[in-house]
Amino acid sequence: MAGLKSLAKDTVIYGLSSIVGRFLNYLLVPLYTAVIPASSGGYGVVSNVYAYTALILVLLTFGMETGFFRFANKTDQNPKSVYANALVFVGGLSLAFVVLGLLFLHPVSALLEYPDHPDYIAMMILVVALDSFQCIPFAFLRYKKKAIKFASIKLLNISGNIILNLFFLLLCPWLNIHAHEWVSWFYNPDYLVGYIFVSNLIMSALQMLFFIPELRGLTYRIDKQLMKQMIAYSSPIMILGLVGILNQTVDKMIYPFLFEDRKEGLVQLGIYSAASKIAMIMAMFTQAFRYAYEPFVFGKSNEKDNRKMYALAMKYFFIFSLLAFLIVMFYMDIIRYMVASDYWEGLKVVSLVMCAEILKGIYFNLSFWYKLTDETQWGAYFSLIGCGVILCLNIWLVPIYGYVASAWASITGYGCITFLSYIIGQKKYPIVYPLKEMAVYMCIAVVLYWISEEIIIRQLICRLTFRTVLLCFFVAFIVWKDLRLKNIPFLCRRR
């Protein structure tokens, strides 16, 4: 059980960087929605371009993050050799992508329906190549348990990006009016959306400087046998990751093509994306847990009580996911000010998006059975099924019901693959999860949420007070049932 103490500690550190970082980053959402009107579709352009970026990032990293953890923890492998091979492979792939992408920039821009802004696509190409390469040094920091440096780099990058966005989107427009000569030589007031991509590119390039120590002192020589093994292991993970990210971004990529009026599609996408950002608490918790959990699982794969720890990790993840859900939904009256008022019509999908995030987190917990048994092809199968469900439902229902259909499509897709992964996983790598206890927590959370929605309290302060009481009841139940110190060995001090 001592391993869970390490997991909890790392989750706190990664969680702090993820929560603080994403909170700072999501402060850009009210900025974007304030300066980019919903009717312009500009925020839809940002969401659309970054959806492609997320997809290509998975393709270029090629599953080598997980591959690195798997082979670096094998007793017959030299971790530095594994790390160097991963760097060479991902670096070479990223460089080839940049060369080909810039060589065919205009045809690609036209294909994505941005013929007037190939500069957007060029910046996307450079950013995704840099970020892909940097994923491997980030993985190395996690392997070496350098959570502080990992978190610091993440936070510095996000902080710099925020400062640049504030400079380009707020300060420069003000200076353009009051001190035109100061900014006229570089600032174009009509290039509003473009400066979002410029800020990202600058910070991705600067971030490379922080990895100089992790890139020195290595022998960059390909071990052919090791490389073959890593590619064979990682390629199915890349496929499942590729399809997995499609599950998250396919709606954002196809929106402009689902409506007869492309601008209407971008407007709908902008509203849906802005509203979905409010579900950030769930995404932050899932990401923080993932950063700590992946090296933890592979590091503990040979210990006798590993399956019991995996079951407990699933239970606590689920409990705190439900807590995050209630926090967001109970305080929506305050949280909604995160986006401009002309985007508020999309708030009706927040609860649905958060449910999809919970299912995604459960699926991530379940997914380790095929990674530990080296049967990663199962992940590809599940992801393909999930992507197929989400894609078909979006194409069929979005033109009729709009972005609400996208939220339901995500729930359906993740629900299907979570169920399949559990059923097959229990045959291949059985783990006794505390399903009854998890079901009790789910029922209580559902009842509390239903009460908060059904009891109408007009006065804001009274309504928030009432919901705070409901939340305190849920927290009290958690403490009574599972968080008493005597029941948590990894929080107790040994006497």
- 91-104 pLDDT, tens digit per residue, is 999 999 999 999 99
pLDDT top residue among 311 and 484: 311
Q: Give the model's pLDDT for residue 338.
A: 81
Sign of CA dihedral 318, 321, 323, 329: negative
Pairwise CA distance, residues 275 & 27, whole Å: 13
* Residues 6 or more apart in contact with residue 181 via CB below 8 angstroms: none
pLDDT at 11 over 80: no
Q: What is the pTM of this model?
A: 0.71
Please tell me the least confidently modeled range out of 21-35, 144-158, 323-337.
21-35
pLDDT at 399 over 80: yes
pLDDT at 75 over 80: no
How far CA 280 is from CA of 7, 287, 413, in Å, comes to 22, 10, 20
Written as one letter, the residue type at 416 is C
DSSP assignment of 376-441: THHHHHHHHHHHHHHHHHHHHHHHHHTHHHHHHHHHHHHHHHHHHHHHHHHHHS-----HHHHHHH
Q: Hey, what's the torsion of the CAs at 77, 81, 85, 86, to 10 degrees?
A: 80
pLDDT in tens, 260-284: 777 788 888 888 888 887 777 666 6
What integer is the mean pLDDT of 3-21?
57
List the Cα angle 8/9/11 in 5-degree steps.
Answer: 65
Nearest in space to 319 (alpha carbons), one of 482, 431, 485, 452: 482
**Is residue 329 a contact partner of residue 354, using CB atoms and an 8 Å limit?**
yes
Pairwise CA distance, residues 225 & 265, whole Å: 48
What integer is the mean pLDDT of 150-159?
87
Instruction: Name the token pair of 275.
Output: 């509203």
Q: Give the model's pLDDT for residue 294.
A: 53
Q: Give the model's pLDDT for residue 490.
A: 40
pLDDT at 204 over 90: yes
pLDDT top residue among 313 and 174: 174
Please report which confidence band the pLDDT of residue 495 belongs to, taking 50, 70 and 90 as the band edges. Answer: very low
Q: Give the model's pLDDT for residue 36.
A: 83
Please report which confidence band the pLDDT of residue 491 belongs to, taking 50, 70 and 90 as the band edges. Answer: very low
